[in-house]
Copies of this chain bind each other. A is one copy, B any other.
Amino acid sequence: MVEKLSDTEREAGLRGLKGWIYDEAAGAIDRVFKFKDFSEAFAFMSRVALAAEKAGHHPDWSNSYNSVSIRLSTHDAGGLSARDIALARAIDKILI
C-alpha cells in the first residue's frame, strides 16, 4: 500500500519538478507538453508508456495532435504519493 504524501512531503516533491501543477481538489499533478506534430508527440508518449510500465504506475493522459496532457495521481492512496513524484521526474527526464 502506497501512502498519500503529507503537505510537507508534497511541497518538497513538487519543488524538484518543473511545470507540474498541483490540483488540490483532484489530489493530482498535471502537466501539458507541446511538440512539433503528432509524430513527435506520440514518440514522447511511447517513452512515457515504457517509463510507466517499468514503474508499475500509470498516468491518466490525453493527446490531441501535438499536445499531450498528463495527470498523475495514486488512486489507492487517495491522492498524491511518492510514485507520482517519481514518475513525473522520469517523464521530465525524457525531455532533457
Nearest Cβ distance between residue A53 and chain B, in whole angstroms? 6
Q: Specify which of B45, B53, B62, B65 is in contact with A38 (CB 8 Å cutoff).
A: B53
Q: What residue in chain B is nearest A48 (Cβ atoms)?
A: B42
* Chain A count of residues within 8 A CB distance of the other chain: 16
Which of B45, B58, B64 is A65 in contact with, Cβ under 8 Å?
Answer: B58
Binding site for B on A (CB under 8 A): 38-39, 42, 45-46, 49, 52-53, 58-65
Contact of A49 among B42, B58, B59, B60 (CB under 8 A): B42
CB-CB under 8 A for A63 and B61, given A49-B42, A52-B38: yes
A64–B49 Cα distance when bound, in Å, is 11
